[in-house]
Amino acid sequence: MVLTLKVKNPRVPLTELEQSAFCTTEPLDTKPLIEELKAGVRWQQLPDEYVHLDATQLRARIGEARRKLGKKAVVLGHHYQREDIIQFADIRGDSFKLSQLAAQQPDAETIIFCGVHFMAETARVLSQAHQRVVLPNLQAGCSMSDMAPTGDVEDCWDDLTNVLGKGEAVPVAYMNCTADLKALCGRNGGIICTSSSADKTVRWAYDRAPRVIFFPDQHLGRNTGLKMGIAPDEMVLWNPFKALGGNTPEQLKKAKLILWKGHCSVHTRFTVAQVQKARERYPGVNIMVHPECVNEVVRIADHVGSTEAIVRTIAAAPKGSVWGVGTEINLVSRIAHENPDKTVFCLDPIVCPCATMYRIHPAYLAWVLDELAAGRVVNEITVGEETARYARIALQRMLDVG
């Protein structure tokens, strides 16, 4: 057997390099876009008339466009969006929930997804034939998704098939990946997972093959594997910039779980030291973190859960309870505001929003709505028919698993 190994030059996604652009020690306040454009990130260009509008002017403009559009447009707001976007959202939630609910709005001809690119793609895959999906700012990507380019994952899958043989591994893709990679799972007997369904979907995969390749988030994959009783020495990390991901054929054959070398630039900010400091400051504090955090943090947390689970758990908690939360700051701030009878704070003392989500400034929402009201569609997200078909197969397997 001859292996053809494709090794690329190492690169760091621009979205990862840009993550600290909005970090601050002060509260996050939305400024006119002309001020936020000074941040060292990529922005989609807008007509000049929008960049100088303040919050009051933007609210009026968005309100007027929405009145004109009525039920023809539905605005989705991901949990990590700034409050100045969430106030306009018809539905808010995590990416998969939003995509499902949008498809259940038959009167909505346009789905405006205030989130990031892979989320808008998922909405396009799940939406009805008469619906279209718009992303207000095309530069709103995802650093984790960017860490798993389609070509790199396809090369990995080909190499694994060559080394292990067909049917010896099942691809499991976290929701935070492109439609192309969801389709790769659909074509190859794989499945999609959310942070709350990862253990169920991985068990489903092990009923079909002795190994799982999990991408793009190594930490969710590792935390899921450890929770299921997979030993650390039965896991290997796949680095796409090294031959066979930096592993030998023997290591891959021995492995039960192959983890793609990707991560969330928000959730990897949380540390053991932050948890310890929270416990020193608030004896009896409840520590709740997202499963995209590193295992050292997950291991010492009191609760681990998805964004939806974090919202539900704290809402149902006793009055007067104290919560140190390890997830995106806009969500933590919203939970604190909605639970005034509890003390809720972010474990990270530096205010660092998701730098790609944060690019959905109200000026972009005003622009796409104005264009729709004028009969023009901008920033439409499309997915090829074949890609959408196989992506739906992988998503349906996740739904069937429950």
Give the pair of three-digit tokens for residue 294.
């590193």
For residue 354, give every residue at least 6 positions away whose Cβ sits within 8 Å of its Cβ, in sequence order, or none.
19, 80, 265, 266, 328, 330
Per-residue pLDDT, 17: 80
Average pLDDT of the chain, as a whole number: 94
Number of compact structural domains in the chain = 3
Same domain for 121 and 44:
yes
Q: Would you say 116 and 103 are in contact if contact means Cβ atoms under 8 Å apart?
A: no
Average pLDDT over residues 77-103: 91
Q: Distances from the Cα of 339 to the Cαs of 315, 322, 332, 348, in angstroms? A: 7, 11, 11, 19
What Rg value do the Cα atoms of the chain yield, rounded? Answer: 21
Alpha helices in 188-263 (DSSP H): 198-206, 218-227, 249-254
Per-residue pLDDT, 96: 84
Q: What is the sign of the dihedral through the CA atoms of 172, 176, 179 and 181?
A: negative
Give the pair of three-digit tokens for residue 101.
């609910």
Q: Which domain holds residue 316?
A: 267-346
314: closest CA among 306, 268, 349?
306
Same domain for 295 and 203:
no
Q: Would you say 180 and 137 are in contact if contact means Cβ atoms under 8 Å apart?
A: no
pLDDT band at 11 (very low <50, low <70, confident <90, very high): low
Residue 394 lies in a domain: no
Residue 131 lies in a domain: yes
The helix or strand, by DSSP H or E, that contains position 274, with its residue range, turns out to be helix 272-281
Reported pTM: 0.93
Outline where DSSP puts E strands in 250-386: 257-260, 286-289, 303-304, 322-326, 343-346, 380-381
Same domain for 149 and 259:
yes
Four-CA torsion 110, 92, 193, 380, nearest 10 degrees? 20
Same domain for 154 and 126:
no
Q: Distances from the Cα of 170 to the Cαs of 146, 212, 235, 347, 402, in angstroms? A: 22, 5, 14, 36, 18
Four-CA torsion 141, 144, 150, 155, nearest 10 degrees? 160
Give the pair of three-digit tokens for residue 198.
């990862």
Same domain for 247 and 305:
no
Question: Which range, of 11-15, 246-250, 322-326, 376-380, averages the lowest pLDDT?
Answer: 11-15
pLDDT tens per residue across span 138-187: 999 999 999 999 999 999 999 999 999 999 999 999 999 999 999 999 99
Residue 203 lies in a domain: yes
Same domain for 260 and 158:
yes
CATH classification at residue 120 = 3.40.50.10800
Alpha carbon distance, N-terminus to C-terminus of the chain: 40
Domain boundary among 346, 370, 396: 346
CATH classification at residue 174 = 3.40.50
Cis peptide before 32 (omega within 30 of 0): no
CA distance 270 to 294: 8
pLDDT band at 351 (very low <50, low <70, confident <90, very high): confident
Residue 2 lies in a domain: no
Residue 399 lies in a domain: no
Same domain for 330 and 239:
no
